[in-house]
Chains A and B, each alone.
Chain A
Amino acid sequence: MVPTIALAPASGKWQSARDWRRGSPGEGFDLPAPMHGFANPARFLRMARWLMPLLLVSGLLLSLGAVLYGMLVVPPDRLMGETVRILYIHVPAAWLGMAGWSTIAIASLVELVWRHPLAAIAGRAAAVPGAMFTAICLITGSIWARPTWGTWWVWDGRLTSYLVLLFLYFGYIALSGAAQRDMVSGSGGNRITAIFGLVGAINIPIINRSVVWWNSLHQPPSITAGKSSIDGTFLWPLLIAALGFSLIFGGVVLARMRMLLADIQAEARLRRKALA
């Protein structure tokens, strides 16, 4: 028996959740009832169509406002002077670099346990913007470190574990891309990618705790549960920038999920034409 291409509907159009069933017997997805709604690709795409621009536009407005406010209005810091302004890009980017891998980890868990048809796609969609924010965080941090610490880079716990996160992203992107190309042969590539996503998540608490466990040049966390050692003048625009960046991240993930689904659909169509 020729294994069917996962996610590709026979008719070329998605109508119901049944279209998502994987090829071989016993491999069908098995979702708890509340997740069934979103397993319907047509419904997911309908929702993504209006949610994506909403997230992108509101996120762009919020982050633009907050970053401009941080660049022009916020007073210079007592010690750092003007370089404090890089905070408004560095901190939201750092948060999203880690939130991006957390998204991958959750998607991987859902893929492994419930075999949700959208899980592998969501993980793959989150990887590229996550890697981009990780790179932005490392670059802006380096630019800030030169005038503040007196060096571009040091191999302390925080910086090293964050650089490892960037390499994990590269690995995940390569692996998920290969799994996608291999889908026809049904080699279980998505499962290998998901295992990598879960194992890589161990780095997230290490990044978070690195400045507490080990002496590091990077400062300890300024914002801990309910408390902040960042003055209110600096803090409010920072929180708004973090919210704005997060909305942009959500919008980009939805856009990439739509793109990946369209890719799969087009691929299936081509294959059918080639067979006919």
Chain B
Amino acid sequence: MSDIKPAGGIKPKHQRLVLVVIALVALVGAGLLAAYALSNQASYFYVPADLMKDPPEQGRAIRLGGMVEKGSLKTQADGITIDFVVGDGKARVPVRFTGITPDLFVEGSGVVAEGRMEGQTFVADNLLAKHDENYVPRQMGDMTEAQAKAVVAETK
């Protein structure tokens, strides 16, 4: 039709297809390289293992994220200061926070604390609760895992 065949005999649309595919491969490669190079800088928080491996300077503002260890949460005598331990399975960091905690802040759930290292303790100015990827109705949340499985098996 309107295709003007060049000497090589390749149709223009095939030439365009090849060019676009090459450009896309280069683009995706560049994107992946950039994402890989960003892997440390683009993280929103450090986990306890990062702090142990590469301790930050005292007093520098950082974020620490991990799980609030079960049984570690203690309220101080003043009633609004709490102490707890944040762990990631490899390392543990004691955290102190004064203020009102978010509703989802409970032992055994995820937390992101904004603050700084003072000695061996992380002093937090602000706590953010981290929700995990599990969505469970309230009634089933109170059951043990075995009970929940039995209910699911029954309703299947």
A→B interface (CB under 8 Å): 21, 25-28, 30, 74-81, 84, 87, 109, 112-115, 147-151, 154-157, 198-199, 202, 205-206, 209, 213-217, 219-222, 229-235
Known: A26-B2, A75-B138, A198-B24. A221 touches B131 (CB 8 A): no
**B135 pairs with A231, CB closer than 8 A:** yes
Contact with A along B119-139 (1 / 0, CB 8 A): 000000011111111111111
**A219 pairs with B130, CB closer than 8 A:** yes
**B140 pairs with A149, CB closer than 8 A:** no
Q: Which of B11, B126, B138 has the most CB of A within 10 A?
A: B138
Cβ contacts under 8 Å, B101 to chain A: 150
Cβ contacts under 8 Å, B3 to chain A: 26, 30
**A215 pairs with B44, CB closer than 8 A:** yes
Closest CB-CB distance, B55 to chain A, in whole Å? 18
Cβ contacts under 8 Å, A199 to chain B: 27
**B136 pairs with A113, CB closer than 8 A:** no
Question: Which listed residue (B12, B35, B131) contacts A219, Cβ 8 A?
Answer: B131
CB-based nearest A residue for B134: A229
**B2 pairs with A202, CB closer than 8 A:** no
CA distance A78 to B13 in the complex (A): 56
Cβ contacts under 8 Å, A222 to chain B: 133-135
Cβ contacts under 8 Å, A221 to chain B: 133
Question: Which listed residue (A81, A148, A155, A215) contacts B129, Cβ 8 A?
Answer: A148
CB-based nearest B residue for A114: B13
**B104 pairs with A148, CB closer than 8 A:** yes
Known: A75-B138, A154-B44. A149 touches B131 (CB 8 A): yes
Cβ contacts under 8 Å, B134 to chain A: 222, 229-230
Cβ contacts under 8 Å, B45 to chain A: 215, 217
**A149 pairs with B136, CB closer than 8 A:** no
CA distance A151 to B105 in the complex (A): 13
* A contact patch SS: loop
**A229 pairs with B133, CB closer than 8 A:** yes
Is B103 part of the binding interface, using a Cβ–Cβ cutoff of 8 Å?
A: yes
**A84 pairs with B135, CB closer than 8 A:** yes
Chain B interface size, under 10 / 10 to 19 / 20 to 34 / 35 or more? 35 or more
Question: Which listed residue (B27, B102, B130, B137) contacts A77, Cβ 8 A?
Answer: B137
Known: A28-B1, A215-B45. A78 touches B140 (CB 8 A): yes
8 interchain pairs (CB within 8 A)? A28-B1, A77-B136, A78-B142, A87-B135, A217-B128, A219-B133, A229-B134, A231-B137
Is B77 part of the binding interface, using a Cβ–Cβ cutoff of 8 Å?
A: no
Is B90 part of the binding interface, using a Cβ–Cβ cutoff of 8 Å?
A: no
CA distance A9 to B35 in the complex (A): 47
Closest CB-CB distance, B139 to chain A, in whole Å? 7
Closest CB-CB distance, A16 to chain B, in whole Å? 13
Cβ contacts under 8 Å, B42 to chain A: 157, 213-214
Cβ contacts under 8 Å, A114 to chain B: 13
CA distance A149 to B38 in the complex (A): 25
Minimum-distance CB pairs A-B, first 9: A78-B141, A28-B2, A150-B102, A156-B44, A215-B43, A75-B137, A230-B135, A222-B133, A202-B31
CB-based nearest B residue for A30: B13
**B138 pairs with A215, CB closer than 8 A:** no
Contact with A along B1-21 (1 / 0, CB 8 A): 111100000011100110010
CA distance A188 to B75 in the complex (A): 67
Closest CB-CB distance, A229 to chain B, in whole Å? 5
Question: Which listed residue (B39, B65, B138) contacts A78, Cβ 8 A?
Answer: B138
Cβ contacts under 8 Å, B44 to chain A: 154-157, 214-217
**A213 pairs with B39, CB closer than 8 A:** yes
Cβ contacts under 8 Å, A26 to chain B: 2-4, 12
Cβ contacts under 8 Å, B2 to chain A: 21, 25-28, 30
Q: Which of B38, B45, B105, B133 has the most CB of A within 10 A?
A: B133
Is B47 part of the binding interface, using a Cβ–Cβ cutoff of 8 Å?
A: yes
Is B28 part of the binding interface, using a Cβ–Cβ cutoff of 8 Å?
A: yes
